[in-house]
Amino acid sequence: MLGDIGLLITALAWVATLYGGVAALISIRTQDRRWLESGRNAMIASAALLGGAVLLLVLAFLTDNFRIMYVANHSSRLQPLYLKFSALWGGQEGSLLLWSAMQAFLAVVALREGDEHKRALIPWAMVVLAVVGLFFTGVTLYHSNPFTQFSRMPLDGRGLNPVLRHPGMLFHPPTLYVGYVGLSIPFAYALSSLITKLRPGVPLPTGSWVRIVHGWLLLAWLGLSLGLLLGMRWAYDVLGWGGYWGWDPVENAGLMPWFTLTALLHGVVIEDEAGRRGGRRGFRMWNYILAVLSFALVLFGTFATRSGLIQSVHAYAVSGLGGVFMTAIVVSLITGIGLVIAAFHRESREERKRPTSSVEDDFPLLSREGLFFLTVVLFLMLTLSVFVGSVLPTVTELLVGRRFEAGPEWFDRVTGPQFALLVLLMGVCPLIGRGLAAFRLSFKQGTAGFGAFMGLMGAGATVGLGLWAGFVQPASLLGFALTGLAATTAVYEFAHASARRMERRNEALHVAFWGLVRTQRRRYGGYIVHLGVILMAVGVIGTRMYQVERQMVFQAGEPAEVGRYSLVFDFLSQDRVGDRLSTWAEVTLYTDRGYAATLLPQVDRYEAFQQSYSATALRAGVREDLTLILAGWSEDGTAVTLKAVVNPLAFFLWLGGLVFLAGGALAFWPRSAGGLWNVIAPVLIVSMLAGSAWAMWGTAQGVVINRGVADSSSGSTRYGGRARVGQPAPDLNLTGLAGETLSTEALRGEIVVLNFWAPWCPACKENMPMLQTVADDYLDRGVTFVGIAFQADERSVLDTLAQIGITYAVALDDEGETVSRYGITGVPETFILDPDGTVAFVHVGPLRENRLRSELDALVGDR
C-alpha cells in the first residue's frame, strides 16, 4: 500500500516536471509570462510530491515496513532511531530518491524571480533544470525504485551495513548531494545564458550569469568540501588502515568536480571584477566551460564506479545505470561545449563587424588576473590528472594494449608538484595582487617590500620549526617553506588591509578588522579558506612523507616499540550485543615520560553481514596521531596482532579542514539582514560547522582512557599501567601468611618470582603446582618465589595452599595496594625481579613451565 503510493507520487512528480519544462518552452515561444508561472507551479508541485515520497520512505523505515525491499535491506527492528533515518540514503535507491527530491527543491529556489537580468535567463534555466530533474526522477522510477515490494512481509530486516554506522557517514552522503545538486544550477544558468546569447532578435541581457549563481557556487562548494572532509575522517576512523585518502576512484569522483568548482569560483571573481571596471573579457569562456565540466563530472562520479569503466575495490555490481549515465554525460558535454563554441563564434563575428567600444583588458601574467588564470589552469590540470589516473587501465589498454593501473604512488607523484605550485601561487598572489607596477611602487614605499620580507621570514621560520621537530627530508622542507610563505602573506593581507582601513577611517584595530571581514566576506572568506588549505598542506606533508606503519604480534605483557612509543598488550575481551560480537584489546601506551594512555582498539563482527567493522583507537596529538588497529588475535587471547600507524602532523589536516570550512561559511554568509533566507542560511552554516567539528573530533572513536592510580603509601600519584620490564620494581611491603617479611629491602639480592593469584581463579590454581616444582628446583640458586593473593579472605587462601601443597611464601594483599602498584589487570600474572630490584620479565595469564625455566636460567646464568 505504502509502496504503491510512493511509486505513484514519484511518477506524478515526473509528469509535473515534464509539464514544467514544456510550459517553460511554450513561454519562450509565445513570450507569455503566464506559461512561465504555470511551469514554475508545476516545478513546485514536483518538489512537494518528491518531498512527500521521501517522507513516505522515512515513514516506512520508522514503522519497520519490511515489505518494502529497500527498508528490509537497510533497516531492522532493533536499529536505533537515528540510523533508521540515515538508512534512507544507505543504498542506491533511497539515495537517488533523496537526490531527486533535493534537485527539485533547489530548482524551485533557484528559479525564484529576480532582477531584470535574471528574469531573462529563467525560462531556459527552467527547461534545463526540468530536463535534469526528469533524468534523476526517471532513473529513480525505472532503474532504481526504492518502493519495490516483496510479495510477503519478512519478519525482520537485514539492518544497515555496519561500516555506515558512523557519524561521519550519517552526514557524508547528504552533504555531498548538496554539492552535486547545487552544481546543476550554475550549469542551468550557464546554458540559459549561452542560448539567450544565440537567439536572434533577443537583446543581450546586461550583466553576467555568474552573479546569479555565485551563492549557489558557494553552497555547492561548501557541500562538496564538507562531504569530502567527512569522508576522509570516516576513512581515518573506521576503515582500519590509518589513512584518510587512498586515491580510490570513488574518492576521485568527488574530488574532480571540487577542482573544477574551485577553479570556477576563482574565474568568477575575475569576471566580476572585470565587469565592474567595464571590461568584458574576464574569464567568461572559461567560466562557461568550467560550469559545464563540473556538472558533467558530477554525473561521471555517480556513474563511473558502477559502469565497469573503472576498476575499484568499491566497484560493486555493474548495474544498468552505467549506460544511462554515460548517455547523460555525453549529452550534457556536447550540449554545453557546443553552445559555448557557437555563442563565442557568433560574438567574435559580430565584433569584427563593428569596432568594440568596451575596454580591452590587458594584464601582464604577473598580476592578480594572471595568477588567477594560472590557478584555473592548474585546477584544470589537476582534474585532468585525476581523471587520467582513474581511467588509466582503460586508456592504456586502448593506447598500448596493456593495462596500467595507477596506485597512490602514481597520484602522489603526479599531483604533488601541482599542489605545491598552487600553494606557491597562494603565497605570491597577495603580494603582487594589484599588478606588478603597483607592486614596484609599493615596494619603493616599503609596504610590499615589507610583505615580501615577512613572507620569506615566514617561510624560513616554518622550515626552522620543521627541522627542529625532526622533519628533515628536503622535499618536505620545500613544502614547509611554501606553506610558511603562503600563510604569512595571507595573514599579511589581513594586517595590511586592516591597517589601511584604520588609517582611512580612523578606527581601532579590532573595529577595522571586523569591518573588513564583514563588508568583504567573499574576499576574506577566500583568504581564510587559503589559510585552511595551507594548514591542511602541512598535515598532508607530515602524513604522506613521515607516516610510520608497523604490524606485529604482541604477547600479553611484553612491550614492543613503535617509533618513540612503547606498547604493552594487556588482555583481550569479548562481548556479544545483538548481532554484534565485539572484541577489544587493552593496550597500555608508554612514552619516554612513562605511562601515557590506555588504548582500546576494537573489532565488531556482524554475523548477518559477514563483515567486520574496525573501531580504531586513536591517540591524537599536535605532533602526531597514533592509531592502533586490532588486526587479529590468537584463540586463547594471550596474543594479538596490532597494526600501529603514526601519522605526524595529522592534527593540522583536521584543524585546516575546519578553518577551511569556516572560510567557506564566511563567504557564504548572507550579505544583508532581512528575509527568510537570511535566517535559514546562518542556522545552516552554524549547525554545519558544529556538526562537522563534532564528527571530526567529538566522537569517541579513539577510545583512550587515562588512569591515574593514587599511591597511598607514598602519597603521590603513580600513573597507571603495569610495571614494565627494565623499570625499577614497585615497592613490596607485605608480610607472608607464615610471618615472612616480604619487603623490597628484605628481598634485595634475590631473584624474585611474584605470582599474583586468587583462590577463586581456576587457571591460577592449575598453574601453581608447576610453580611449586620450579621453586623447589631453584631453591638453592638464589630464587625466591612469592605468591600474592588478592580479593580473598585468609581462610580460603590457606585452604587452597594446603590443598595444592604450596610451600613457598604467600602473602595476602587485602587492601589491593601491591596489586594497584604493579598495575595488575587480572589473575594470574607473573613478574620476575632481578637481584637489583628491576623488573626482568612480565607475563599475563597462565605461565608455561619451559618459559619460566628459560627466563630463570638466563638470570641465574648472569650471576
Partner 1 sequence: MKRSYVMAGVLIAVAVLYLLVSSTGTTANFFLTIEEFRALDEDLRGRNVTLSGAVIGESIHYDASIPEVTFTIVQIPGDRKEINVAGGLAAVLAMAVNNPDAAQMDVVYRGVRPDLLQHEAQAIVRGSLQPNGVFHADDLLLKCPSRYAEDLPAQIED
Q: How far apart are CA 171 and CA 227, in angstroms?
A: 8
Q: Does 187 bind partner 1 (CB under 8 A)?
A: no
Q: Which of 35, 136, 171, 177 binds partner 1 (CB under 8 A)?
A: 177
Q: Does 585 bind partner 1 (CB under 8 A)?
A: no
Residues 194 to 233: which contact partner 1 by CB under 8 A? Answer: 231
# residues near partner 1 by CB under 8 A: 74
Q: How far apart are CA 61 and CA 202, in angstroms?
A: 51
Q: Which of 118, 233, 266, 306 binds partner 1 (CB under 8 A)?
A: 306
Collapsing DSSP states into helix, strand and coil, what is residue 575?
A: strand
CB nearer to partner 1: give 314 or 440. 314
Q: Which stretch binds partner 1 (CB under 8 A): 116-124, 132-140, 486-494, 630-638?
A: 630-638
In the complex, least distance from residue 155 CB atom to partner 1, rounded to whole angstroms: 21
DSSP type of residue 507: -
Q: Which stretch binds partner 1 (CB under 8 A): 108-116, 392-400, 590-598, 817-825?
A: 392-400
Q: Which of 712, 720, 726, 742 is nearest to 824 (CA)?
A: 720
CB nearer to partner 1: give 231 or 430. 231
Q: Which of 414, 431, 448, 653 binds partner 1 (CB under 8 A)?
A: 414
Q: Does 409 bind partner 1 (CB under 8 A)?
A: yes
Q: Which stretch binds partner 1 (CB under 8 A): 121-129, 379-387, 518-526, 740-748?
A: 379-387
In the complex, least distance from residue 82 CB atom to partner 1, rounded to whole angstroms: 16
In the complex, least distance from residue 809 CB atom to partner 1, rounded to whole angstroms: 36
Lookup: cell for 601? 582498539
Q: How far apart are CA 376 and CA 667, in angstroms?
A: 19
Q: How far apart are CA 236 and CA 654, in angstroms?
A: 11
Q: Does 592 bind partner 1 (CB under 8 A)?
A: no
Q: Does 154 bind partner 1 (CB under 8 A)?
A: no
Q: How far apart are CA 556 and CA 844, in angstroms?
A: 5
Is the Cβ–Cβ distance between 152 and 215 less than 8 Å? no
CB nearer to partner 1: give 366 or 658. 366
Residues 248 to 267: which contact partner 1 by CB under 8 A? Answer: 248, 250-251, 253-254
Collapsing DSSP states into helix, strand and coil, what is residue 513?
A: helix
Q: What spatial distance separates the first Cα and last Cα of the chain, rounded to whole Å?
A: 86
Q: Which stretch binds partner 1 (CB under 8 A): 381-389, 522-530, 747-755, 830-838?
A: 381-389
Q: How far apart are CA 405 and CA 392, in angstroms?
A: 6
Q: Does 106 bind partner 1 (CB under 8 A)?
A: no
Long-range contacts of 451-460 (CB under 8 A, 24+ apart): 451/489, 451/492, 451/496, 454/488, 454/489, 454/492, 455/427, 455/431, 455/485, 455/488, 455/489, 455/492, 456/485, 457/488, 458/484, 458/485, 458/487, 458/488, 458/489, 459/484, 459/485, 459/488, 460/484
Give the Cα-Cα-Cα angle 524, 254, 282 (nearest 5 degrees): 45
Lookup: cell for 582? 565485539
Q: Which of 91, 133, 186, 427 binds partner 1 (CB under 8 A)?
A: 91
Q: Which of 432, 292, 441, 443 is nearest to 372 (CA)?
A: 432
Q: Which of 27, 46, 95, 100 binds partner 1 (CB under 8 A)?
A: 95
Q: Does 403 bind partner 1 (CB under 8 A)?
A: yes
Q: Does 314 bind partner 1 (CB under 8 A)?
A: yes
Give the Cα-Cα-Cα angle 81, 12, 333 (nearest 5 degrees): 90
Q: Which of 30, 358, 634, 678 binds partner 1 (CB under 8 A)?
A: 634
Q: Which of 632, 675, 698, 769 binds partner 1 (CB under 8 A)?
A: 632
Residue span 519-558 as binding mask against partner 1, x where in contact by CB under 8 A, dash where not: --------------------------------x-x-----
CB nearer to partner 1: give 311 or 699. 311
Q: Does 567 bind partner 1 (CB under 8 A)?
A: no
> What is the H or E stretch that residue 843 is in?
strand 839-844
Q: Which of 611, 687, 735, 773 binds partner 1 (CB under 8 A)?
A: 611
Q: What is the SS3 assignment for 633-660?
A: ECCCCCEEEEEEEEEECHHHHHHHHHHH
